[in-house]
Structure 1
Amino acid sequence: MSPRTPAQRTVTPFLAATNNATSTSTATLTSAFICCCIIWLLLAHAPASIQMRRLQRCELAGKLYILDVPKSDLPLWLCIAEYESRYNTHVVGNRNADGSSDYGLFQISSRYWCHPDVGIVKYYAFNECNVNCSALLQDDITETVQCARTIQRRQGWSAWSVYSFYCNRTLREVDDCFE
């Protein structure tokens, strides 16, 4: 082996470091590219139910009325939906301390009222509405309203924490929605 010159001794470690950095950068870029492709595939082929739908106030009033909610009760239902979900049909709230989550327009708890999807929580207690929680996230709000009515009949309006703070006072009328 021939002796190396001072320049070779300096350049060789530099080239080795550059090659390592290049391979590390290439690996990082490749990983990032693969992750981006996977995310794109998931989003491009995601089921439509993942897309959030925000109803307009009068649109929700009309749907509730068609589902036999009395016109006199509509302001209260609209107030609860506004403060619970901002009229969004696909909202899943942050996980509660007991591991449950709240679903849909009226933020219905998986602890008591609906059956959570497999793997979301370790347990659920009652499923009093006899419905899967994912059904409460549909644009067709029939099951959501049926469950909310069950809750209201059994626990009253105070079942929703927003009731006492926002909805237990003079409410905006809905007559403008039916003109």
Structure 2
Amino acid sequence: MPKVLLLLLIFLKLSTLDARQIGKCSLARKLYRYGVPYNELADWLCLVEGESSFDTKAVNPSNADGSVDWGLFQINDRYWCKPSDGRPSSDSCRLPCRLLLSDDIRYSIACAKYIRKEQGFSAWVAWNNRCQGEKPSVRHCFKHSNRYIG
């Protein structure tokens, strides 16, 4: 039994080596740069914190229907991206799910913006559970940039 536990601990450690945390302000600035309205940034940051804890490599394979959630925004492969294993998907964002794990998050942002346009923030469980009330300001994320916003 200790050998199995040791192997499990090694596997868990190795699986987190690829994880990449993105900072809140860095994400806010990238979201804004890729067209997210300033007044929605706090909602997006709250959503990402609840869904993936700002981990670009987050994968949740434990949905009851067998689908998997991918990346910062935990985008579901039953509807939004194409899984590599051939499972059926609507693939509404027209991209392979693996791109949602990239450190180049423009694919994730584009797909998340599309989901927001189609279904609103309520498409995300974390936003429904955590983000409908008062959210922290993102003003401090833009104070030192050339274009002060807000």
Contact 1:101 1:110 in 2 (8 A): yes
Higher relative contact order (CA 8 A, sep 6+): 2
User: What aligned pairs does 1:93-132 form with structure 2 within 5 A after superposition?
Assistant: 93-118=60-85, 123-132=87-96
| Counterpart Cα distance in 2 of 1:140 and 1:52 | 13
Letter in structure 2 aligned against 1:108: I
| Counterpart Cα distance in 1 of 2:33 and 2:71 | 19
What is the aligned-residue RMSD (CA, Å)?
2.1
User: What aligned pairs does 1:16-35 form with structure 2 within 5 A after superposition?
Assistant: none
| Counterpart Cα distance in 1 of 2:115 and 2:36 | 14
Q: Give the equivalent residue in structure 2 for 1:58.
A: 25
Contact 1:100 1:124 in 2 (8 A): no
Is 2:129 aligned against 1:162?
no
Q: Secondary structure at the match of 2:60?
A: coil
| Counterpart Cα distance in 1 of 2:128 and 2:90 | 25
Tell me the TM-score normalized by structure 1. 0.69
User: What aligned pairs does 1:75-90 form with structure 2 within 5 A after superposition?
Assistant: 75-90=42-57
Letter in structure 2 aligned against 1:142: R
Q: Give the equivalent residue in structure 2 for 1:26.
A: none
Contact 1:85 1:91 in 2 (8 A): yes
The offset of 1:164, in angstroms, is 2.0
Contact 1:53 1:88 in 2 (8 A): yes
Contact 1:114 1:127 in 2 (8 A): yes
Contact 1:64 1:145 in 2 (8 A): yes
The offset of 1:165, in angstroms, is 1.5
Larger helix proportion, structure 1 or 2? 1
| Counterpart Cα distance in 1 of 2:61 and 2:115 | 20
Q: Give the equivalent residue in structure 2 for 1:47.
A: none
Structure possessing the higher radius of gyration over alpha carbons: 1
Letter in structure 1 aligned against 2:136: R
Q: Secondary structure at the match of 2:49?
A: helix
